Amino acid sequence: MATATFPATYIRPCDIEECNRASRALCHCCSQDLCIVHLKEHVDILNEQITPILDEIVCLSDKVWQLKDSSVMKKDLEKLLLWKKDAIRVVHNYYMFACRRLKEFVNETLDNQQDTIQRLHALVAEFVGNHDVTKDDIVWITEKVEGIQKQIIKQELVETLVKLRPLVIEKDVIQIDWMLPRMIPFDLGKLSEPHSSKYLHKEFSYDGMASSKDEQYLLLHTDNLLYLFDHELRAEQQMKWEYGYVTEICYAGLLEKFILLTDVGKMRGVYSLCIHKMRVEKIIAGEFCKTACSNMHLYLLKKEQGPCVLYQYKLTNFELSRFLVCAKNESIHSMACNSDMLGLIVFRRVPGVNSFKFRARFEVRSTAGKLDILWSIPMEFGSGIFAYNSISSLNINGWLVTDTADRRLTHISTNGTIQSTLIYKYGYPIKTALLGTDSIVVKSENDHHFQCRRETIINLHKLTNID
């Protein structure tokens, strides 16, 4: 085949290898001289590359609109409203305290003056009746009367007893930004000493304890009283509890209420508590021993023989579903929820040489469907099936499992990996809970051998001290 030849005035040939066509254009993006065919191919390739980008931009635009309509802003508006209500409640409580203090101050001052006047009046009346007053007595009485007169004149001139300063709110008390969930470093091996402690003076207090969804409040039952603590373990409120012994507490974020289980006679059942009004309501009757709350459901375990059946109630309408989660030779000892996951400590009875043995496992199920198992790992507890154990949620950090008999805390990740274990040095741990954004609460029993007594203590450990 003859090779094409071009006159001296010919524009450059196509830069594509093995192409002998004459170039028709210079592509400025890749600095190549291209013929008509390869120019079209080049344009088509670029169009193929830009089309998916255009589709992605449209998808991003749709996502932005979805974010505007998402539940995030609605939840945050509700969060701000709740913050406003809490702030109003704090101001109102301080206002009521100031009113009580003002009345007490005025009444105490005036009552003391009135007592002084009455004693002085009785003394003068006695002098008049007995006719034995002396000149010195008259001088002393006159000085007392003048002193009281000056004090009353001064009080009459006072225009106000209250000095007020404007309530200053820091500008950064509310921060608005696209913030990812905070991943607080959590290492049991570096758990700090207790930042603060509360003594309950009660032996082995297995009463319920739980924190609210945002970990801003801790609810605790002991000695027929409910205590509501803030994130620094300061008592916010206290109320008398008249509905029986509280065995379990969890928090229903959708209802913004604590859920409490009681186990005494006719009072036994499930109660809800609104902490803003400290109002109690019985919501379910029955004999239950365990409870946990996910984002959308309340889970209850009954005291009954045979296979373990979990009762699932929708928090929106309390529609009931039942799930068989254990075999006949198995029992659930503890349970807790972490977002849409349900954690269970399960003991299984297996035949031994001369008796039965028990093996424990920690399993996590999805609450989004039919409680399908996500993963399961074996566990060991110091006193076997007789051990007291508990589970608490660490949010995105996973789970914290308590073994009271061995004083052991075990940190387990959300995917079932044991991260660390710790022998707790500050007593026998009974229950744990997150509190605030940087703290964990451990309810434990201290054994005072030298005093021949035991007492329950609530320890607040700060996580910010962890490197």
Closest to 461 in 3D by CA, of 400, 388, 418? 400
Instruction: Quickly state the pLDDT bin for 94 (edges 50, 70, 90).
Output: confident
SS3 101: helix
User: What pairs with residue 376 in β-bridges?
Assistant: 363
Alpha helices in 224-357 (DSSP H): none
Residues 362-386: tens digit of each pLDDT: 999 998 888 999 999 999 887 766 6
Tell me what the mean pLDDT of segment 200-214 comes to. Answer: 71
**Using N-to-C axis directions, what is the helix angle for 135-157 and 71-130, rounded to 10°?**
160
* Rounded-to-integer distance, Cα 392 and Cα 318, Å: 24
User: What pairs with residue 350 in β-bridges?
Assistant: 357
Q: Regarding beta strands 341-351 and 453-462, do their DSSP bridges make them parallel or antiparallel, or are they unpaired?
A: unpaired
- Count of CB atoms situated within 10 Å of the CB of 7: 5
The pLDDT of residue 205 is 58
* Rounded-to-integer distance, Cα 421 and Cα 440, Å: 15
- Count of CB atoms situated within 10 Å of the CB of 273: 20
Mean pLDDT for the chain?
83
Instruction: Quickly state the pLDDT bin for 13 (edges 50, 70, 90).
Output: confident
Residues 258-267: tens digit of each pLDDT: 999 988 777 8
Alpha helices in 131-236 (DSSP H): 135-157
Among the listed ranges 177-186, 415-424, 435-444, 451-460, which one has the minimum average pLDDT value? 177-186
- Per the model's pLDDT, the better-predicted residue between 438 and 433 turns out to be 433
Instruction: Quickly state the pLDDT bin for 467 (edges 50, 70, 90).
Output: very low
> Which residue type does 165 have?
R
Q: Pick one of 1.10.10.10, 2.60.40.10, 3.10.129.10, 2.120.10.30 as the CATH number of 188-462.
A: 2.120.10.30
